[in-house]
Chains A and B, each alone.
Chain A
């Protein structure tokens, strides 16, 4: 079945540690996105990539990094510079052409202790 796979589902880390969240898609989509979800704040865009080897900062990119070396993969690293990393992280993809609805993974919940 085609879809988006995020791993791990739950992740616990100590403060000061970098963590990498995996996102893989087999939908042959060009565009991929990372969103952060916090209670009462909706979804906020961290980074997005419209094509391999290229990505743009979203609204809250500070403290995060990404890479897009393969079309199907868009990992997100939460660095120690991110002040409040505990959140639910959602990866999504789209064909890249309009209207461009997003297809989401099941999310990764990161808790920093």
Chain B
């Protein structure tokens, strides 16, 4: 089955420290992977995507993600966390086959950055 997993419900980090939000995936074929961020009572905002090429993808607000094919992972990272980074983060994978074309989302990871 095609799926994406975010193993941590919450990640806590001190401001200024590096952060990692984990994501693993299971798809057939080459994956198209995405990270989104959601602030309270708002829609999701696109952060970055992996299509092909460099395993380190840079995105908005200083975030980056590392694609690892052997570990089927796509972890979100930031070298120095800000309090304003506190939000809900979703990993997603695109699934395309037959007449189906959709994004499957993980359950989300809440990031708390403490001052």
Q: Which residue numbers of A lie inside 8 Å of B, CB to CB? A: 4, 6, 31, 33, 35, 40-43, 45, 48, 50, 56, 58, 88, 90, 92, 96, 98-107, 109
Contacts and interface: CB of A to CB of B under 8 A. Distances in A.
A4 B44 CA distance: 12
Given A42-B107, A88-B41, 13 more contacts: A35-B105, A43-B44, A48-B101, A90-B44, A99-B32, A99-B49, A100-B101, A101-B49, A102-B44, A104-B45, A105-B43, A106-B42, A107-B43
A101 B107 contact: no
B100 A56 contact: yes
Interface residues of B, number: 26
A46 to B, nearest CB: 11
Contacts of A50: 101
Interface of B: 9, 32, 34, 36, 41-46, 49, 51, 90, 92, 94, 96, 99-108
B99 A56 contact: yes
Contacts, number: 65
Q: Is the interface of B mostly helix, strand, loop or mixed?
A: strand
A88 to B, nearest CB: 8
Contact of B94 (A41, A98, A107, A109): A98
Contacts of B104: 45
B102 A33 contact: yes
Contact of A99 (B42, B90, B94, B106): B94
5 contacts: A42-B90, A43-B90, A101-B46, A107-B41, A107-B42
Most buried by A among B43, B51, B94: B43
Contacts of A41: 107
Contact of A109 (B34, B41, B107): B41
Contacts of B44: 43, 90, 92, 102, 104
A31 B101 contact: yes
A78 to B, nearest CB: 18
B106 A42 contact: yes
